[in-house]
Amino acid sequence: MKKYLVYVLTFMTVVVLGLAFNAAAEEGITDTEIHIGQWGPQTGPAAPWGAVARGTDAYFKMINEEGGIHGRKLVHHYFDDGYNPAKTMGGVKQLQEDIGMFAWVSGVGTAPGLAVKDYLMDRKIPWIGPSAGSRHWIEPPNKYLFNTYPLYLGDAQLLCKYAVETLGFKNIAIAYQNDDYGKQGLEGAQKQLAKSGLKLVAEIPVNVADVDMKPHIMKFRNSEAEAVLLFVGPGHVARLQGTGKAMQFEPQWMTSTTCGDIPLMMAITKGGYAGTILASFGMMDPTAVGIGNIEDVNASTHPVLKKYHEEAFKKFAAKEERWGLTFAAGMGYVEPMIEALKNCGRDLTREKLVAEMEKIKDFQGIMGKVSFAPFKANDPSCRIGQTTVFLAQATADAKAKVLTDWVKTEYIPMGK
Amino acid sequence: MVDFLQMVLSGIAVGSSYALMGLGMVLIYKASEVPNFVQGEMALLPVFIAFMLLSTYNIPYYIAFPATLIFAFILGCFLEFAILRRAKEPNILGLIIITIGMEMMLLGFVSWKFGADQRAMPFPISTYDSIIIGDVFISSLDLLTLVVALVIMLTLFLFFRFSRMGVAMKATQMNENAAALMGIKTKQIRMVTWGISAVVGCVAGLLAAPVLVEPYMMWGPMLKGFAGAVVGGMTSLPGAVFGAYIVGIVEHLFGGYISIEFKSVVAFAIIVIVLCIKPSGLFARHYVKKV
Amino acid sequence: MDRKRDYYEDVQIFTSGTIVFWSGVLILLLSIFPFIAKNYYVYVANFMAINVIVVVGLNILVGYTGQISMGHAGFFAIGAYGTIALMTHAHFPFLLALPCAGLVAALLGFLLGLPALRLEGPYLAIATLGFGITATQIIGKIKMFGERQGLHAPDLTIGSWHIETDKDFYFILIPITFFLVLVARNIIKTKVGRAFISIRDADIAASTMGVNLTLYKTLAFAVSAFYAGVGGGLYAFVLRFIEPELFSMFMSVMFLTMVVVGGLGSIMGSVAGACLLGFLDLQLRNILEIPYVGDWIRALSESYFTLTGVSNIQLIVFGLILIIIMLFEPLGIFGIWIRFKKYWMTWPF
């Protein structure tokens, strides 16, 4: 028994001490390095979004291989927060105070982001491209926070507009995830339909933990919805579409940008996703592809995306990593920052980065056009970044048929 | 009226998978007197193994599924033998924490081995087919789940009634010391009980997998199964099944008529109400404590 | 060696000079800690202190009264939201809002205690678990609480002291923690505490001795809910942002785990359990940064597992630690300590 005791105590001591003293002391920016931080869930129920951080990581490695930025390499520190704001806060504090980040990029989720927003903004640390289309990032606008993800509000507007004006539907319903993301989709849809004098025929909340979708489908069926907007996660899209099909309820499904990974969606719905109309923020250029034409997302013709696939994904991603929307989005969110860093030149400061970010006009990488403007305290549009989205439709062979060109969406201020 | 029938039928369908999880929990509760929080993950790992066999190695169903069930049995036995049995002078809370620890380890292992991406498991019958009776739908998968659940319940009933092993298990659960004196290897019996419970849970997992495979897929069914088992009385197998169906049906009626948002918590409200009236559940005999 | 010979020996705060000495050292260390440690570790310490408050309170219910609760995240959430709501809407000062929110939680604890009178074991576990889930669902529907979009904590000022940094808050939090732990220790040594223990050991015998089961069982719920509520109120200001999903079932399970791993029926065990598991919960993500160990895990992942899921090693290590402690000693860390002490005192025999 005493032997066990010694083993247990030694084991615990090693773990505890090992965790306590592993911090290195470095500067946020040196002659050869730029330290960039990022959080993202690698564990827990939100772990599928962890690919964002890994995408950014591969992208930075690619840039370093190309010679870095004005002689400096990007050092990417990303950590797992398990989508738990308390852990996000802990990790951000540790990296910021122990190592010192020059800037923060992306970061999955509204709640973790909101938890650390004030901390970063109070310290005037730039934070670029939060990985969630929430209105909270730009209302009120912050000088150091640059949004690049098109707002969920915009997705919902465009989808509703298309359903009403092009497809001629009158009965539109929505399934929304019971959180900030879903609520903003709901609001966008309500506002857009009100313009045509319509109302959502059913507004059904989906809790993140819900598994059984039969009651939801019954409500939709009773509302005689012709189109159903899905502002839920990919798993719930699969469950809703599967249950719908089994109950012979097959409206025009429409999903937000969050569920726009067509190959993934086709795989998990076993083909049920075909025909779904999805809002998308990038990974192909609808202008180049042309309306009505079909693009294979896996063998993209987008020149920049093709390069990232070859140079970043194939070289630096783990062997079991999937080349998909989430991974690529991790690159897309930070492209404007890389552009600004390049424009900053050798003499790099945070203020200069902000100034260069503000100069970005109609920059286009693998997402839509991104523009910022000099900071105005009461004008969210100076930090909104990308305001355009386009619609595509999933085909039966997991490709995307382009339905619209980039469409500029209107910003709906909070509480109006 | 059609709506009402549809809700009840859907409730029964979803209740079947709760019932399987509940049965697994009751089996273990009777053997080891611990609410088994690892029940869901005992099903999760085999499901991922099945997924791997089917999609990576392209092994046909008739080999892959039995192999998975055998794996589940071994996993259940292993957890009891290697971990739970080693607990010294255990109290019930200590055992609960051990099952939570095992749960974390298995969940971590699965996510580590297979990653977090959602997947769909190939399955012999399509998840999109359904059978229509009048105006009421039931999907083929739900029907299959219902049939399988009934078959398993019947098998368990016959097993406990007529097989030597089953009777020995019942004896062990009733009075362990007396059973041991009668020459029953009670430790072995307990281990096998865990194995059987894992198999029952695994069946529920395999029937949930065609819709979606992801590391957190068994949490919901496990909790609802636990809830059902508690409504039924935690020590009664028919009670667990009955309780699970009640939970399923009430959930659907509540979701249909009152609030979808609170559908998933209504199960717990039922529990509190049922337990206030019958503190040991509907089916278990109330054990009167004496000093 | 730990036998008590008379009543006063049982109720005294410090049982020996050694304890007085080490308590002094502890207080000294705690007061200089924020000046020598990095700010991040002060944040971690604040977290651990909050866990200590909740877990000590939960131990009164679980360890001393023998009831299970898997829904304390619900009380925690009520405390957090209640404190913020009282401060922003009723303009209470923080030090008044905090106990008031705690009292609201205590009231709900009392109400939850009523059905719990008839329940025990797994029945009580699932009923309380249901309470925890339902509480956060309901909070997510209340407009004043920001619904699902979360709530930011207001600025914190006590008198003329404007509290901004983790270090400032540390000096509020640690005295409160000390005070509450001491109160818990003393509750156990009063008539009420002895009633709790008697209920745990044999409730029917206790009731024949004149212990009012209804009163004391609900009281135990109320007291532990008060602790959780106060902990929640403080948590809201450590994190400064709260939303319903934070107070998940996982959090309740975590609190219960801390109680059991620390040691049932031991206040000091609870402190240790809350500190250890709270620390691991925040820090295990750095396991891959440990030299050699991290590289080894990465290499292992590359050959046999997935590199994308390597962070899940945290869960495995956490689970393993729980299992090892519980297998080794059913009384958790407190049990290990007792064993260690005995070994030390009787050495070399």
ipTM of the complex: 0.89
Please count the CA atoms within 13 angstroms of the CA of A295 that sit on its side-chain side.
23
In a domain, B113, yes or no: yes
In a domain, B285, yes or no: no
Partner A, chain B 1-60, Cβ-Cβ below 8 Å: 3, 6-7, 10, 13-14
* CATH assignment of the domain containing B148: 1.10.3470
CA distance B94 to chain A (A): 17
Query: What residues in C contact B88, CB-CB < 8 Å?
Result: 327-330
Instruction: Give the Cα separation of C284 and C286 in Å (integer).
Output: 5
pLDDT band at A2 (very low <50, low <70, confident <90, very high): low
Contact A263, A297 (CB under 8 A): yes
A371 and A255 in a common domain: no
* CATH assignment of the domain containing A59: 3.40.50.2300
Partner C, chain A 348-407, Cβ-Cβ below 8 Å: none
Whether C6 has a pLDDT exceeding 80, the answer reads: no
Q: Is C292 left (phi over 0), alpha (psi -120 to 50) or beta?
A: left
Instruction: Give the Cα separation of A126 and A104 in Å (integer).
Output: 6
Closest-CA residue of B relative to C112 is B272
Instruction: Give the Cα separation of B21 and B39 in Å (integer).
Output: 7
Instruction: Give the Cα separation of A200 and B101 in Å (integer).
Output: 46
CB atoms within 10 A of CB B163: 11
Partner C, chain B 39-68, Cβ-Cβ below 8 Å: none
Q: What is the pLDDT of residue A17?
A: 53
In a domain, A395, yes or no: yes
Q: What is the pLDDT of residue B210?
A: 87
Query: What residues in A contact C321, CB-CB < 8 Å?
Result: 12, 15
Choose among C239, C307, C311: nearest Cβ to A115. C239
In a domain, B288, yes or no: no
CA distance C289 to chain A (A): 7
**Does the beta-carbon distance from A218 to B7 stay under 8 Å?**
yes
Query: What's the first-to-final CA gap in chain A, in angstroms?
Result: 68
Query: What residues in B contact C121, CB-CB < 8 Å?
Result: 35, 92
CA distance C124 to chain A (A): 22
**Chain C interface test: which of B79, B97, B258 (most C C-beta within 10 Å):** B97
In a domain, A297, yes or no: no
For range A113-130, the mean pLDDT? 90
pLDDT band at C219 (very low <50, low <70, confident <90, very high): very high
Q: What is the pLDDT of residue A29?
A: 85
Closest listed residue to residue C279, CA positions, set C241, C244, C317: C317
In a domain, B196, yes or no: yes
A108 and A162 in a common domain: no
Instruction: Give the Cα separation of C81 and C76 in Å (integer).
Output: 9
Tell me whether strands A277-280 and A294-295 are parallel, antiparallel or unpaired.
Answer: unpaired
A112 and A68 in a common domain: yes
A319 and A173 in a common domain: no
A274 and A163 in a common domain: yes
Per-residue pLDDT of chain B (291 residues; tens, 9 = 90+): 778 888 898 899 889 999 999 999 999 998 888 889 999 999 999 999 999 999 888 899 999 999 999 999 999 999 999 998 888 777 888 889 999 999 999 999 999 988 888 888 888 888 888 888 877 888 888 899 999 999 999 999 999 889 998 999 888 888 888 988 988 898 899 999 999 999 999 999 999 888 889 888 888 889 899 989 988 888 888 889 999 999 999 988 998 888 888 888 888 888 888 888 887 778 777 666 655
Q: List the structure tokens of B12.
A: 């029964």
Q: List the structure tokens of C330.
A: 């059913």
- Please tell me whether residue B82 adopts helix, strand or coil conformation: helix
Query: What residues in C contact A12, CB-CB < 8 Å?
Result: 276, 321
Contact status of B122 with chain C (Cβ, < 8 Å): no
Instruction: Give the Cα separation of A357 and A278 in Å (integer).
Output: 30
Angle of helix B2-32 relative to helix B219-232, nearest 10 degrees, comes to 80
A50 and A136 in a common domain: yes
In a domain, A14, yes or no: no
In a domain, A13, yes or no: no
A249 and A215 in a common domain: yes
Q: Which helix (H) or strand (E) holds A118?
A: helix A110-122
**Tally of structural domains, chain B:** 1
Q: Where are the alpha helices (DSSP H) in A166-298?
A: 180-195, 214-223, 234-246, 262-268, 286-289
pLDDT tens per residue across span C245-272: 889 888 999 999 999 999 888 898 999 9
- Please tell me whether residue A250 adopts helix, strand or coil conformation: coil
Q: What are the residues facing A69 on neighbouring strands?
A: A72
Peptide bond into C348 cis (omega under 30): yes
**Tally of structural domains, chain A:** 2
Q: What is the pLDDT of residue B290?
A: 59
Contact B207, B141 (CB under 8 A): yes
For range A259-283, the mean pLDDT? 88
pLDDT tens per residue across span C157-172: 887 788 888 888 999 9
pLDDT band at A25 (very low <50, low <70, confident <90, very high): very low
Instruction: Give the Cα separation of A159 and C80 in Å (integer).
Output: 38
pLDDT > 90 in chain A, percent: 23
Tell me the whole-structure pTM to 2 decimals.
0.90
Query: What residues in A contact C311, CB-CB < 8 Å?
Result: 42-43, 50, 80
A394 and A378 in a common domain: no
Q: What is the pLDDT of residue B106?
A: 94
CB atoms within 10 A of CB B113: 18
CA distance C298 to chain A (A): 11
Q: Which helix (H) or strand (E) holds B131?
A: strand B130-133
The DSSP call for residue A102 is: S
Q: List the structure tokens of C162.
A: 């404007």
**Does the beta-carbon distance from B103 to C319 stay under 8 Å?**
yes
**Chain A interface test: which of B3, B44, B54, B212 (most A C-beta within 10 Å):** B212
Is A122 exposed, middle or buried, given 0-12, 13-18 or 19+ CB atoms closer than 10 A? Answer: exposed
In a domain, B271, yes or no: yes
Closest listed residue to residue A93, CA positions, set C189, C343, C47, C340: C47
Instruction: Give the Cα separation of C59 and B181 in Å (integer).
Output: 39
Q: What are the residues facing A110 on neighbouring strands?
A: none
A271 and A173 in a common domain: yes
- Residues with Cβ < 8 Å from A57, sequence gap 6 or more? A76, A78, A316, A330
Instruction: Give the Cα separation of A410 and B15 in Å (integer).
Output: 45
Range of the domain at A221: 152-280+390-408
pLDDT > 90 in chain C, percent: 34
Q: Where are the alpha helices (DSSP H) in chain B?
A: 2-32, 39-51, 61-78, 92-114, 140-162, 164-174, 176-181, 186-208, 219-232, 237-257, 263-277
**Does the beta-carbon distance from B221 to A247 stay under 8 Å?**
no
Q: What is the pLDDT of residue A56?
A: 92
In a domain, B283, yes or no: no
Contact status of A101 with chain C (Cβ, < 8 Å): no
Instruction: Give the Cα separation of A53 and A326 in Å (integer).
Output: 9
A189 and A110 in a common domain: no
A168 and A134 in a common domain: no
Q: Which chains touch A (3 or more CB pairs under 8 A)?
A: B, C
Instruction: Give the Cα separation of B38 and B100 in Å (integer).
Output: 6
Average pLDDT of the residues of chain A? 86
DSSP string, C150-167: -EEPPPEEETTEEE-SHH
Tell me whether strands A294-295 and A400-402 are parallel, antiparallel or unpaired.
Answer: antiparallel
CA distance B93 to chain C (A): 7
Q: What is the pLDDT of residue B219?
A: 87
In a domain, A331, yes or no: yes
Torsion (CA) C224, C229, C230, C233 in degrees, nearest 10? 160
In a domain, A323, yes or no: yes
Contact C163, C157 (CB under 8 A): yes
Q: What is the pLDDT of residue A254?
A: 93
Choose among A23, A43, A182: nearest Cβ to C314. A43
pLDDT band at A186 (very low <50, low <70, confident <90, very high): very high
Q: Which helix (H) or strand (E) holds A205?
A: strand A200-206
**Does the beta-carbon distance from B280 to C130 stay under 8 Å?**
no
In a domain, A15, yes or no: no
Tell me whether strands A227-231 and A252-255 are parallel, antiparallel or unpaired.
Answer: parallel
Closest listed residue to residue A376, CA positions, set A349, A357, A356, A358: A358
* Integer angstrom CA distances of residue B9 from A303, B12, B242, C98, C337: 53, 5, 15, 49, 56
Q: What are the residues facing C161 on neighbouring strands?
A: C158
pLDDT > 70 in chain C, percent: 99
Range of the domain at B220: 2-277
Residue in this structure with the two tokens 């012979």, named with its chain if needed: A248
In a domain, B203, yes or no: yes
Query: What residues in C contact B269, CB-CB < 8 Å?
Result: 130, 134
Contact A53, A108 (CB under 8 A): yes
Is C299 exposed, middle or buried, given 0-12, 13-18 or 19+ CB atoms closer than 10 A? Answer: exposed
Contact status of B117 with chain A (Cβ, < 8 Å): yes
Query: What residues in A contact B255, CB-CB < 8 Å?
Result: 215-216
Query: What residues in C contact B115, CB-CB < 8 Å?
Result: 306, 308-309
Q: List the structure tokens of C184.
A: 């818990």
Query: What residues in C contact A57, CB-CB < 8 Å?
Result: none
Q: What is the pLDDT of residue A6?
A: 61
Query: What residues in B contact C256, CB-CB < 8 Å?
Result: 93, 96-97
pLDDT tens per residue across span C34-46: 888 888 899 999 9
Contact C43, A93 (CB under 8 A): yes
Phi, psi for C54 (deg, rounded to 5)? -65, -45
Closest-CA residue of A relative to B211 is A239
A362 and A397 in a common domain: no
Can you point out the beta strands (E) in A333-411? 363-364, 369-371, 385-386, 388-394, 400-402, 407-408
Closest-CA residue of A relative to C309 is A42
- Please tell me whether residue A246 adopts helix, strand or coil conformation: helix
In a domain, B33, yes or no: yes
